[in-house]
Structure 1
Amino acid sequence: MPPAKKRPRAYDLSRTRTAVLAQFDRVREAVAALTEDQLAGPSGLGEWTVRELATHLAMALECVSRQLELPAPPGVKPQLTLVEWPFSANCTKGSADGIAGLVDDPAAAGSDLDALYEETAARFAQLVPTDAGDRLVTTRAGTMRLGDFLVTRTVELVVHTDDLHRATGLDIAYDRQALAACTRLLADALADRAPGGSVEVRVPPFAVVQCIGGPKHTRGTPPNVVEMDPLTWIRLATGRTRWTQALEAAQVSASGERADLAPLLPLMG
Protein backbone atom coordinates (compact mmCIF):
# COMPACT_ATOMS: atom_id res chain seq x y z
CA MET A 1 0.00 0.00 0.00
CA PRO A 2 1.49 3.40 -0.97
CA PRO A 3 2.19 5.86 1.87
CA ALA A 4 -0.75 8.09 2.73
CA LYS A 5 -0.26 11.71 1.71
CA LYS A 6 -0.40 14.31 4.44
CA ARG A 7 -2.97 17.07 4.63
CA PRO A 8 -1.83 20.09 2.57
CA ARG A 9 -0.15 22.88 4.48
CA ALA A 10 -2.36 25.92 5.02
CA TYR A 11 -1.27 29.48 4.17
CA ASP A 12 -2.91 32.67 5.35
CA LEU A 13 -3.92 34.77 2.33
CA SER A 14 -3.36 38.12 4.02
CA ARG A 15 0.12 37.17 5.26
CA THR A 16 1.08 35.79 1.86
CA ARG A 17 -0.14 38.93 0.13
CA THR A 18 1.93 41.07 2.52
CA ALA A 19 5.01 38.89 1.97
CA VAL A 20 4.71 39.12 -1.82
CA LEU A 21 4.48 42.90 -1.72
CA ALA A 22 7.37 43.12 0.75
CA GLN A 23 9.68 40.99 -1.40
CA PHE A 24 8.69 42.88 -4.52
CA ASP A 25 9.57 46.13 -2.76
CA ARG A 26 13.04 44.79 -1.98
CA VAL A 27 13.53 43.83 -5.62
CA ARG A 28 12.26 47.23 -6.72
CA GLU A 29 14.89 49.00 -4.60
CA ALA A 30 17.63 46.78 -6.01
CA VAL A 31 16.56 47.24 -9.64
CA ALA A 32 16.45 51.02 -9.17
CA ALA A 33 20.14 50.93 -8.22
CA LEU A 34 21.25 49.13 -11.38
CA THR A 35 23.13 50.97 -14.11
CA GLU A 36 22.30 50.62 -17.80
CA ASP A 37 25.45 48.52 -18.26
CA GLN A 38 24.32 46.17 -15.50
CA LEU A 39 20.83 45.92 -16.97
CA ALA A 40 22.30 45.01 -20.34
CA GLY A 41 24.45 42.26 -18.82
CA PRO A 42 23.68 38.53 -18.77
CA SER A 43 21.26 37.23 -16.17
CA GLY A 44 22.53 33.65 -16.17
CA LEU A 45 19.11 32.45 -17.40
CA GLY A 46 19.52 31.48 -21.02
CA GLU A 47 19.70 34.53 -23.26
CA TRP A 48 17.87 36.83 -20.87
CA THR A 49 19.57 40.07 -19.93
CA VAL A 50 19.29 41.47 -16.41
CA ARG A 51 16.71 43.93 -17.75
CA GLU A 52 14.59 41.05 -19.04
CA LEU A 53 14.91 39.28 -15.69
CA ALA A 54 13.84 42.46 -13.89
CA THR A 55 10.88 42.82 -16.26
CA HIS A 56 9.92 39.20 -15.70
CA LEU A 57 9.88 39.78 -11.94
CA ALA A 58 7.37 42.58 -12.41
CA MET A 59 5.25 40.42 -14.69
CA ALA A 60 5.17 37.70 -12.01
CA LEU A 61 2.98 40.06 -9.98
CA GLU A 62 1.18 41.66 -12.89
CA CYS A 63 -0.22 38.30 -13.98
CA VAL A 64 -2.16 38.12 -10.71
CA SER A 65 -3.69 41.54 -11.27
CA ARG A 66 -4.60 40.66 -14.86
CA GLN A 67 -6.37 37.52 -13.73
CA LEU A 68 -8.41 39.40 -11.14
CA GLU A 69 -9.61 41.83 -13.78
CA LEU A 70 -11.15 38.89 -15.68
CA PRO A 71 -14.25 36.92 -14.69
CA ALA A 72 -13.46 33.94 -12.49
CA PRO A 73 -13.05 30.76 -14.56
CA PRO A 74 -15.88 28.22 -14.40
CA GLY A 75 -15.91 25.48 -11.81
CA VAL A 76 -15.68 25.30 -8.07
CA LYS A 77 -12.63 23.06 -7.73
CA PRO A 78 -9.12 23.94 -8.93
CA GLN A 79 -7.49 21.84 -11.62
CA LEU A 80 -4.07 22.29 -10.02
CA THR A 81 -3.21 22.05 -6.33
CA LEU A 82 -0.46 24.08 -4.73
CA VAL A 83 1.86 21.13 -4.18
CA GLU A 84 1.45 20.11 -7.85
CA TRP A 85 2.45 23.54 -9.13
CA PRO A 86 6.26 23.14 -8.95
CA PHE A 87 6.12 20.16 -11.31
CA SER A 88 4.19 22.16 -13.90
CA ALA A 89 6.40 25.24 -13.62
CA ASN A 90 9.82 26.16 -14.91
CA CYS A 91 11.99 28.57 -12.94
CA THR A 92 14.25 29.30 -15.89
CA LYS A 93 13.37 30.96 -19.16
CA GLY A 94 11.76 27.78 -20.39
CA SER A 95 9.41 29.29 -22.94
CA ALA A 96 8.50 32.54 -24.57
CA ASP A 97 5.39 32.71 -22.40
CA GLY A 98 7.24 32.61 -19.09
CA ILE A 99 6.44 30.59 -16.02
CA ALA A 100 3.25 28.97 -14.74
CA GLY A 101 0.65 31.15 -16.31
CA LEU A 102 2.85 34.24 -16.57
CA VAL A 103 2.38 36.06 -19.87
CA ASP A 104 5.30 38.38 -20.45
CA ASP A 105 4.56 41.52 -22.44
CA PRO A 106 7.40 41.95 -24.99
CA ALA A 107 6.82 45.70 -24.99
CA ALA A 108 7.54 45.84 -21.27
CA ALA A 109 11.16 44.78 -21.81
CA GLY A 110 12.00 48.24 -23.11
CA SER A 111 9.94 50.15 -20.59
CA ASP A 112 10.99 52.42 -17.75
CA LEU A 113 11.57 49.91 -14.97
CA ASP A 114 10.88 52.40 -12.17
CA ALA A 115 7.49 53.22 -13.67
CA LEU A 116 6.77 49.55 -14.41
CA TYR A 117 7.50 48.51 -10.83
CA GLU A 118 5.50 51.38 -9.35
CA GLU A 119 2.46 50.62 -11.49
CA THR A 120 2.73 46.87 -10.89
CA ALA A 121 2.88 47.24 -7.11
CA ALA A 122 0.00 49.72 -7.07
CA ARG A 123 -2.24 47.49 -9.20
CA PHE A 124 -1.45 44.44 -7.09
CA ALA A 125 -2.20 46.30 -3.85
CA GLN A 126 -5.47 47.58 -5.30
CA LEU A 127 -6.77 44.43 -6.98
CA VAL A 128 -5.58 41.55 -4.78
CA PRO A 129 -7.94 41.11 -1.82
CA THR A 130 -7.00 40.15 1.71
CA ASP A 131 -9.69 37.47 1.67
CA ALA A 132 -11.43 35.41 -1.06
CA GLY A 133 -8.54 32.96 -1.28
CA ASP A 134 -10.81 30.32 -2.81
CA ARG A 135 -11.47 32.45 -5.89
CA LEU A 136 -10.16 30.60 -8.95
CA VAL A 137 -7.59 32.07 -11.33
CA THR A 138 -6.26 30.68 -14.59
CA THR A 139 -2.66 29.54 -15.06
CA ARG A 140 -1.13 27.78 -18.04
CA ALA A 141 -1.20 24.48 -16.16
CA GLY A 142 -4.83 24.84 -15.07
CA THR A 143 -6.98 26.78 -12.64
CA MET A 144 -5.74 27.40 -9.11
CA ARG A 145 -7.11 28.94 -5.94
CA LEU A 146 -6.02 32.57 -5.59
CA GLY A 147 -4.54 31.85 -2.17
CA ASP A 148 -2.41 29.05 -3.63
CA PHE A 149 -1.37 31.10 -6.63
CA LEU A 150 -0.09 33.86 -4.34
CA VAL A 151 2.13 31.30 -2.60
CA THR A 152 3.64 30.44 -5.99
CA ARG A 153 4.51 34.13 -6.38
CA THR A 154 6.80 33.85 -3.36
CA VAL A 155 8.70 31.15 -5.25
CA GLU A 156 8.97 33.34 -8.34
CA LEU A 157 10.15 36.34 -6.36
CA VAL A 158 12.58 34.55 -4.04
CA VAL A 159 14.15 32.41 -6.75
CA HIS A 160 14.61 35.32 -9.13
CA THR A 161 15.80 37.62 -6.34
CA ASP A 162 18.62 35.12 -5.90
CA ASP A 163 19.18 35.10 -9.68
CA LEU A 164 19.39 38.89 -9.63
CA HIS A 165 21.89 38.79 -6.78
CA ARG A 166 24.12 36.28 -8.57
CA ALA A 167 23.93 38.21 -11.84
CA THR A 168 24.71 41.64 -10.40
CA GLY A 169 26.37 41.09 -7.02
CA LEU A 170 23.75 43.20 -5.27
CA ASP A 171 22.81 42.10 -1.77
CA ILE A 172 19.01 41.96 -1.71
CA ALA A 173 17.22 41.19 1.54
CA TYR A 174 14.61 38.46 1.75
CA ASP A 175 11.29 38.99 3.44
CA ARG A 176 11.14 36.26 6.09
CA GLN A 177 7.57 35.22 5.31
CA ALA A 178 8.25 35.07 1.55
CA LEU A 179 11.39 32.98 2.10
CA ALA A 180 9.50 30.69 4.47
CA ALA A 181 6.60 30.13 2.08
CA CYS A 182 8.94 29.42 -0.83
CA THR A 183 11.00 26.97 1.24
CA ARG A 184 7.95 25.14 2.59
CA LEU A 185 6.22 24.78 -0.74
CA LEU A 186 9.29 23.26 -2.37
CA ALA A 187 9.85 20.94 0.62
CA ASP A 188 6.24 19.78 0.48
CA ALA A 189 6.60 19.19 -3.25
CA LEU A 190 9.58 16.92 -2.56
CA ALA A 191 7.52 14.91 -0.07
CA ASP A 192 4.74 14.70 -2.65
CA ARG A 193 7.10 13.49 -5.37
CA ALA A 194 8.62 10.78 -3.16
CA PRO A 195 6.14 9.93 -0.39
CA GLY A 196 7.43 7.91 2.52
CA GLY A 197 9.09 8.23 5.88
CA SER A 198 12.60 6.82 5.56
CA VAL A 199 14.40 10.16 5.05
CA GLU A 200 13.94 13.35 7.02
CA VAL A 201 14.78 16.56 5.17
CA ARG A 202 15.42 19.57 7.40
CA VAL A 203 15.57 23.15 6.15
CA PRO A 204 15.79 25.17 9.37
CA PRO A 205 14.13 27.29 10.50
CA PHE A 206 11.26 26.83 8.04
CA ALA A 207 10.61 23.23 7.04
CA VAL A 208 10.96 19.58 8.02
CA VAL A 209 9.49 16.86 5.81
CA GLN A 210 9.79 13.12 5.53
CA CYS A 211 10.03 11.43 2.16
CA ILE A 212 11.15 8.34 0.22
CA GLY A 213 9.65 4.92 0.82
CA GLY A 214 11.26 2.45 3.18
CA PRO A 215 11.44 1.84 6.92
CA LYS A 216 9.56 4.64 8.64
CA HIS A 217 11.18 6.58 11.45
CA THR A 218 9.01 6.93 14.56
CA ARG A 219 11.23 7.74 17.56
CA GLY A 220 14.68 9.16 18.28
CA THR A 221 17.13 10.40 15.68
CA PRO A 222 16.16 9.36 12.15
CA PRO A 223 18.66 7.02 10.44
CA ASN A 224 18.58 9.09 7.24
CA VAL A 225 18.80 12.86 7.59
CA VAL A 226 19.42 15.64 5.07
CA GLU A 227 19.89 19.20 6.30
CA MET A 228 20.68 22.51 4.61
CA ASP A 229 19.89 26.22 4.74
CA PRO A 230 16.88 27.66 2.85
CA LEU A 231 18.76 29.21 -0.07
CA THR A 232 20.74 26.03 -0.69
CA TRP A 233 17.49 24.07 -0.72
CA ILE A 234 15.83 26.52 -3.10
CA ARG A 235 18.81 26.41 -5.46
CA LEU A 236 18.76 22.60 -5.44
CA ALA A 237 15.01 22.43 -5.99
CA THR A 238 15.17 24.80 -8.97
CA GLY A 239 18.34 23.47 -10.58
CA ARG A 240 20.62 26.37 -9.73
CA THR A 241 22.89 24.03 -7.77
CA ARG A 242 23.48 20.32 -8.32
CA TRP A 243 23.36 17.80 -5.47
CA THR A 244 26.98 16.74 -5.88
CA GLN A 245 28.14 20.36 -5.94
CA ALA A 246 26.28 21.14 -2.73
CA LEU A 247 27.75 18.09 -1.00
CA GLU A 248 31.28 18.88 -2.13
CA ALA A 249 30.91 22.47 -0.92
CA ALA A 250 29.61 21.25 2.46
CA GLN A 251 26.35 23.14 1.89
CA VAL A 252 24.39 19.97 2.59
CA SER A 253 24.68 17.51 5.45
CA ALA A 254 23.51 14.02 4.47
CA SER A 255 23.72 10.97 6.71
CA GLY A 256 22.38 7.48 6.12
CA GLU A 257 22.38 5.14 3.15
CA ARG A 258 19.09 6.51 1.82
CA ALA A 259 20.00 10.19 2.23
CA ASP A 260 20.58 10.85 -1.46
CA LEU A 261 18.17 13.30 -3.07
CA ALA A 262 20.00 13.47 -6.40
CA PRO A 263 17.46 11.30 -8.30
CA LEU A 264 14.63 13.61 -7.19
CA LEU A 265 16.21 16.95 -8.01
CA PRO A 266 15.59 19.45 -9.40
CA LEU A 267 11.88 19.69 -8.75
CA MET A 268 11.59 22.60 -11.18
CA GLY A 269 13.62 22.74 -14.36
Structure 2
Amino acid sequence: MPNSRTLAEPPVVRAALAAQALALRDAVRALDEAELALPTRLGDWRVRELAAHLAIQVGWVPLHVDDPAPDGPLLGLTAWVAAVRSAADLLDEAARRHAAEVFAGPTAAVAAAFDEAVDLLTDFLAGPRAADAGRRFGLRFGPIALGDMLVTRLVETVVHADDLAHALGRSRFPHDTRAVAAVSALLLAALAERAAGADVVDAVAAADVVDRAEKLAAADPLAWIRVATGRDPVPADLPAGLLPLLG
Protein backbone atom coordinates (compact mmCIF):
# COMPACT_ATOMS: atom_id res chain seq x y z
CA MET A 1 0.00 0.00 0.00
CA PRO A 2 1.32 3.42 -0.79
CA ASN A 3 2.27 5.74 1.98
CA SER A 4 3.39 9.34 1.99
CA ARG A 5 6.92 8.42 0.99
CA THR A 6 5.79 6.72 -2.20
CA LEU A 7 3.79 9.78 -3.24
CA ALA A 8 6.12 12.57 -2.13
CA GLU A 9 8.72 12.98 0.57
CA PRO A 10 7.21 14.27 3.84
CA PRO A 11 8.90 17.70 3.58
CA VAL A 12 7.42 18.10 0.11
CA VAL A 13 3.97 17.10 1.37
CA ARG A 14 4.20 19.65 4.17
CA ALA A 15 5.33 22.43 1.84
CA ALA A 16 2.65 21.59 -0.72
CA LEU A 17 -0.06 21.51 1.92
CA ALA A 18 0.99 24.87 3.34
CA ALA A 19 0.98 26.41 -0.14
CA GLN A 20 -2.41 24.94 -0.96
CA ALA A 21 -3.88 26.20 2.31
CA LEU A 22 -2.52 29.70 1.74
CA ALA A 23 -3.97 29.78 -1.77
CA LEU A 24 -7.34 28.80 -0.32
CA ARG A 25 -7.01 31.52 2.31
CA ASP A 26 -6.53 34.12 -0.42
CA ALA A 27 -9.54 32.78 -2.31
CA VAL A 28 -11.82 32.87 0.74
CA ARG A 29 -10.65 36.37 1.66
CA ALA A 30 -11.76 37.56 -1.78
CA LEU A 31 -15.31 36.16 -1.57
CA ASP A 32 -18.19 38.61 -1.52
CA GLU A 33 -21.68 38.03 -0.11
CA ALA A 34 -23.13 37.00 -3.44
CA GLU A 35 -20.35 34.47 -4.01
CA LEU A 36 -20.83 32.93 -0.57
CA ALA A 37 -24.44 32.21 -1.59
CA LEU A 38 -23.54 30.58 -4.92
CA PRO A 39 -24.46 26.90 -5.38
CA THR A 40 -21.77 24.26 -5.69
CA ARG A 41 -21.64 20.89 -7.41
CA LEU A 42 -21.79 19.27 -3.93
CA GLY A 43 -25.50 18.67 -3.49
CA ASP A 44 -27.20 21.69 -1.97
CA TRP A 45 -24.06 23.12 -0.39
CA ARG A 46 -23.46 26.78 -1.09
CA VAL A 47 -19.98 28.24 -1.21
CA ARG A 48 -20.53 29.10 2.47
CA GLU A 49 -20.88 25.40 3.40
CA LEU A 50 -17.93 24.51 1.20
CA ALA A 51 -15.76 27.11 2.94
CA ALA A 52 -16.90 25.81 6.32
CA HIS A 53 -16.05 22.23 5.34
CA LEU A 54 -12.64 23.30 4.06
CA ALA A 55 -11.93 25.12 7.31
CA ILE A 56 -12.70 21.96 9.28
CA GLN A 57 -10.45 19.86 7.06
CA VAL A 58 -7.62 22.40 7.08
CA GLY A 59 -7.61 22.73 10.85
CA TRP A 60 -8.27 19.09 11.70
CA VAL A 61 -4.71 17.86 12.16
CA PRO A 62 -3.40 20.58 14.49
CA LEU A 63 -6.59 20.44 16.55
CA HIS A 64 -6.47 16.65 16.97
CA VAL A 65 -2.80 15.72 16.76
CA ASP A 66 -2.64 15.11 20.52
CA ASP A 67 -5.80 13.00 20.67
CA PRO A 68 -5.17 9.38 21.70
CA ALA A 69 -4.63 7.18 18.67
CA PRO A 70 -6.26 3.74 18.76
CA ASP A 71 -4.17 0.60 18.75
CA GLY A 72 -4.05 -1.68 15.77
CA PRO A 73 -2.51 -1.74 12.32
CA LEU A 74 -2.04 1.57 10.58
CA LEU A 75 -4.50 2.55 7.89
CA GLY A 76 -2.85 2.92 4.49
CA LEU A 77 -3.66 5.74 2.12
CA THR A 78 -5.57 3.59 -0.35
CA ALA A 79 -7.56 2.17 2.57
CA TRP A 80 -8.41 5.73 3.57
CA VAL A 81 -9.66 6.41 0.04
CA ALA A 82 -11.85 3.30 0.26
CA ALA A 83 -13.17 4.18 3.72
CA VAL A 84 -13.79 7.91 3.59
CA ARG A 85 -17.07 7.62 1.68
CA SER A 86 -18.59 5.96 4.74
CA ALA A 87 -18.19 9.25 6.63
CA ALA A 88 -20.04 11.35 4.04
CA ASP A 89 -23.13 11.93 6.19
CA LEU A 90 -21.07 12.93 9.23
CA LEU A 91 -18.94 15.30 7.14
CA ASP A 92 -22.05 16.86 5.63
CA GLU A 93 -23.61 17.38 9.06
CA ALA A 94 -20.41 18.91 10.44
CA ALA A 95 -20.09 21.30 7.49
CA ARG A 96 -23.67 22.49 7.83
CA ARG A 97 -23.30 23.01 11.55
CA HIS A 98 -20.00 24.88 11.13
CA ALA A 99 -21.55 27.04 8.41
CA ALA A 100 -24.49 27.90 10.66
CA GLU A 101 -22.46 28.51 13.82
CA VAL A 102 -19.07 29.87 12.71
CA PHE A 103 -19.40 30.79 9.02
CA ALA A 104 -22.81 32.44 9.15
CA GLY A 105 -21.57 36.02 9.39
CA PRO A 106 -20.52 38.60 6.80
CA THR A 107 -17.56 38.13 4.50
CA ALA A 108 -15.05 39.61 6.96
CA ALA A 109 -16.12 37.12 9.64
CA VAL A 110 -15.95 34.21 7.20
CA ALA A 111 -12.47 35.27 6.12
CA ALA A 112 -11.32 35.62 9.73
CA ALA A 113 -12.64 32.17 10.64
CA PHE A 114 -10.92 30.64 7.63
CA ASP A 115 -7.70 32.51 8.42
CA GLU A 116 -7.75 30.98 11.89
CA ALA A 117 -7.91 27.44 10.46
CA VAL A 118 -5.11 28.16 7.98
CA ASP A 119 -2.94 29.70 10.70
CA LEU A 120 -3.40 26.61 12.85
CA LEU A 121 -2.26 24.39 10.00
CA THR A 122 0.67 26.46 8.75
CA ASP A 123 2.00 27.00 12.27
CA PHE A 124 1.78 23.26 12.87
CA LEU A 125 3.48 22.42 9.58
CA ALA A 126 6.36 24.74 10.43
CA GLY A 127 6.88 23.12 13.84
CA PRO A 128 8.74 19.99 14.95
CA ARG A 129 5.73 17.75 15.56
CA ALA A 130 4.74 17.81 11.88
CA ALA A 131 8.11 16.31 10.97
CA ASP A 132 7.32 13.11 12.90
CA ALA A 133 5.77 11.37 9.89
CA GLY A 134 5.39 8.08 11.74
CA ARG A 135 3.40 9.52 14.65
CA ARG A 136 0.08 7.71 15.07
CA PHE A 137 -2.98 9.83 14.38
CA GLY A 138 -6.48 8.70 15.26
CA LEU A 139 -9.31 8.52 12.73
CA ARG A 140 -12.75 6.95 12.99
CA PHE A 141 -11.50 4.31 10.55
CA GLY A 142 -8.44 3.47 12.67
CA PRO A 143 -4.95 4.87 13.25
CA ILE A 144 -3.00 6.44 10.41
CA ALA A 145 0.57 7.70 10.26
CA LEU A 146 0.79 11.47 10.51
CA GLY A 147 2.71 11.69 7.24
CA ASP A 148 -0.15 9.90 5.49
CA MET A 149 -2.74 11.99 7.30
CA LEU A 150 -1.16 15.09 5.79
CA VAL A 151 -1.52 13.54 2.34
CA THR A 152 -5.25 13.15 3.01
CA ARG A 153 -5.33 16.91 3.67
CA LEU A 154 -3.84 17.41 0.22
CA VAL A 155 -6.78 15.45 -1.18
CA GLU A 156 -9.24 17.66 0.69
CA THR A 157 -7.60 20.93 -0.29
CA VAL A 158 -7.02 20.06 -3.95
CA VAL A 159 -10.42 18.51 -4.63
CA HIS A 160 -12.39 21.18 -2.81
CA ALA A 161 -10.32 24.06 -4.18
CA ASP A 162 -11.37 22.78 -7.59
CA ASP A 163 -14.98 22.69 -6.35
CA LEU A 164 -14.62 26.30 -5.23
CA ALA A 165 -13.25 27.43 -8.59
CA HIS A 166 -16.10 25.63 -10.35
CA ALA A 167 -18.71 27.30 -8.13
CA LEU A 168 -17.19 30.72 -8.81
CA GLY A 169 -17.18 30.12 -12.55
CA ARG A 170 -13.40 30.18 -12.83
CA SER A 171 -11.47 27.98 -15.21
CA ARG A 172 -8.76 27.11 -12.72
CA PHE A 173 -7.56 27.45 -9.16
CA PRO A 174 -3.89 28.32 -8.45
CA HIS A 175 -3.10 24.87 -7.10
CA ASP A 176 0.31 23.92 -5.84
CA THR A 177 1.58 21.54 -8.55
CA ARG A 178 3.15 19.21 -5.97
CA ALA A 179 -0.20 18.87 -4.23
CA VAL A 180 -1.98 18.01 -7.47
CA ALA A 181 0.69 15.45 -8.36
CA ALA A 182 0.43 13.73 -4.98
CA VAL A 183 -3.37 13.55 -5.13
CA SER A 184 -3.31 12.24 -8.69
CA ALA A 185 -0.79 9.55 -7.72
CA LEU A 186 -2.80 8.44 -4.70
CA LEU A 187 -5.99 8.12 -6.71
CA LEU A 188 -4.16 6.10 -9.37
CA ALA A 189 -2.86 3.77 -6.65
CA ALA A 190 -6.36 3.41 -5.23
CA LEU A 191 -7.74 2.61 -8.68
CA ALA A 192 -5.04 -0.01 -9.24
CA GLU A 193 -5.90 -1.67 -5.94
CA ARG A 194 -9.62 -1.64 -6.66
CA ALA A 195 -9.12 -2.96 -10.21
CA ALA A 196 -6.90 -5.80 -9.03
CA GLY A 197 -9.56 -7.00 -6.61
CA ALA A 198 -12.68 -6.34 -8.67
CA ASP A 199 -14.82 -9.14 -10.03
CA VAL A 200 -15.92 -7.10 -13.04
CA VAL A 201 -12.54 -7.27 -14.77
CA ASP A 202 -9.88 -9.90 -15.17
CA ALA A 203 -6.20 -9.22 -14.58
CA VAL A 204 -5.53 -8.10 -18.15
CA ALA A 205 -8.53 -5.78 -18.24
CA ALA A 206 -7.62 -4.36 -14.83
CA ALA A 207 -4.14 -3.49 -16.04
CA ASP A 208 -5.66 -1.86 -19.12
CA VAL A 209 -7.98 0.28 -17.00
CA VAL A 210 -5.10 1.49 -14.85
CA ASP A 211 -3.00 2.18 -17.93
CA ARG A 212 -5.76 4.32 -19.46
CA ALA A 213 -6.20 6.21 -16.21
CA GLU A 214 -2.46 6.80 -15.99
CA LYS A 215 -2.48 8.27 -19.49
CA LEU A 216 -5.33 10.61 -18.56
CA ALA A 217 -3.51 11.63 -15.38
CA ALA A 218 -0.31 12.30 -17.30
CA ALA A 219 -2.12 14.44 -19.85
CA ASP A 220 -4.31 16.35 -17.39
CA PRO A 221 -4.02 15.42 -13.69
CA LEU A 222 -6.92 17.64 -12.67
CA ALA A 223 -9.16 16.01 -15.28
CA TRP A 224 -8.22 12.62 -13.80
CA ILE A 225 -8.88 13.86 -10.25
CA ARG A 226 -12.33 15.11 -11.29
CA VAL A 227 -13.18 11.73 -12.81
CA ALA A 228 -11.80 9.80 -9.86
CA THR A 229 -13.77 11.90 -7.38
CA GLY A 230 -17.05 11.90 -9.27
CA ARG A 231 -16.91 15.52 -10.41
CA ASP A 232 -16.76 14.64 -14.12
CA PRO A 233 -18.36 11.69 -15.95
CA VAL A 234 -16.34 8.52 -16.28
CA PRO A 235 -14.90 8.30 -19.82
CA ALA A 236 -16.29 5.49 -21.93
CA ASP A 237 -12.96 3.65 -21.93
CA LEU A 238 -12.83 3.50 -18.11
CA PRO A 239 -15.38 1.02 -16.70
CA ALA A 240 -17.89 2.85 -14.54
CA GLY A 241 -17.96 -0.05 -12.06
CA LEU A 242 -14.52 0.96 -10.82
CA LEU A 243 -15.05 4.72 -10.69
CA PRO A 244 -15.51 7.10 -9.06
CA LEU A 245 -13.27 6.38 -6.07
CA LEU A 246 -14.51 9.35 -4.05
CA GLY A 247 -17.59 11.44 -4.42
**TM-score, normalisation: structure 2:** 0.81
Secondary structure of 1:261's aligned partner: coil
- The 1:225/1:127 distance shift into structure 2, 3 A limit, reads closer
Counterpart of 1:110? 104
Counterpart of 1:261? 239
Matched, 1:125 2:122: yes
- The 1:102/1:66 distance shift into structure 2, 3 A limit, reads farther
Matched, 1:17 2:22: no
Matched, 1:240 2:196: no
Q: Which amino acid aligns with 2:149?
A: F
Gaps of 5+ in 1: 1-5, 197-210, 248-253, 255-259
- CA–CA separation in structure 2 for the residues paired with 1:83 and 1:224: 15
RMSD: 3.0
- CA–CA separation in structure 2 for the residues paired with 1:195 and 1:54: 36
**TM-score, normalisation: structure 1:** 0.75
Secondary structure of 2:159's aligned partner: helix
- The 1:125/1:149 distance shift into structure 2, 3 A limit, reads same
Q: What is the CA-CA distance between 1:76 and the residue it aligns to?
A: 6.5
Percent of aligned positions with the same letter in both sequences? 34
- CA–CA separation in structure 1 for the residues paired with 2:30 and 2:71: 44
Counterpart of 2:28? 31
Q: Is the 8 A contact 2:40 2:163 kept in 1?
A: yes
Q: Which amino acid aligns with 1:240?
A: R
Q: What is the CA-CA distance between 1:11 and the residue it aligns to?
A: 3.4
Q: Which amino acid aligns with 1:231?
A: L
Matched, 1:52 2:49: yes
Q: Is the 8 A contact 2:36 2:46 kept in 1?
A: yes
- CA–CA separation in structure 2 for the residues paired with 1:216 and 1:76: 31
Q: Is the 8 A contact 1:68 1:127 kept in 2?
A: no
- The 1:263/1:123 distance shift into structure 2, 3 A limit, reads same
Q: Which amino acid aligns with 1:119?
A: E
Gaps of 5+ in 2: none
Match of 1:97 among 83, 91, 107: 91
- CA–CA separation in structure 1 for the residues paired with 2:38 and 2:69: 39
Secondary structure of 1:267's aligned partner: coil
- The 1:102/1:46 distance shift into structure 2, 3 A limit, reads closer
- CA–CA separation in structure 2 for the residues paired with 1:25 and 1:151: 16
Q: What is the CA-CA distance between 1:214 and the residue it aligns to?
A: 2.4
- The 1:35/1:81 distance shift into structure 2, 3 A limit, reads same
Counterpart of 1:199? none
- CA–CA separation in structure 1 for the residues paired with 2:63 and 2:241: 37
Relative to total residues, which structure has the larger helix share, 1 or 2? 2
Relative to total residues, which structure has the larger strand share, 1 or 2? 1
- The 1:58/1:225 distance shift into structure 2, 3 A limit, reads same
Q: Could you list the per-position Cα deviations for residues 167-199 of structure 1 after superposition, in whole angstroms to 9, with x for gaps in the alignment?
A: 112342110111011101000000111128xxx
Matched, 1:213 2:203: yes
Counterpart of 1:177? 178
Q: Is the 8 A contact 2:62 2:121 kept in 1?
A: yes
Secondary structure of 1:133's aligned partner: coil
**Large movers: runs of 4+ above 6 Å:** 101-104
Aligned length: 229
Secondary structure of 1:34's aligned partner: coil
Q: What is the CA-CA distance between 1:127 and the residue it aligns to?
A: 2.9
Q: Which amino acid aligns with 2:79?
A: E
- The 1:174/1:148 distance shift into structure 2, 3 A limit, reads same
Counterpart of 1:191? 192
Q: Could you list the per-position Cα deviations for residues 183-240 of structure 1 after superposition, in whole angstroms to 9, with x for gaps in the alignment?
A: 01000000111128xxxxxxxxxxxxxx9612898xxxx8994121111111111111
Secondary structure of 1:149's aligned partner: helix
Q: What is the CA-CA distance between 1:87 and the residue it aligns to?
A: 1.1
Secondary structure of 2:85's aligned partner: coil
Q: Which amino acid aligns with 1:110?
A: A
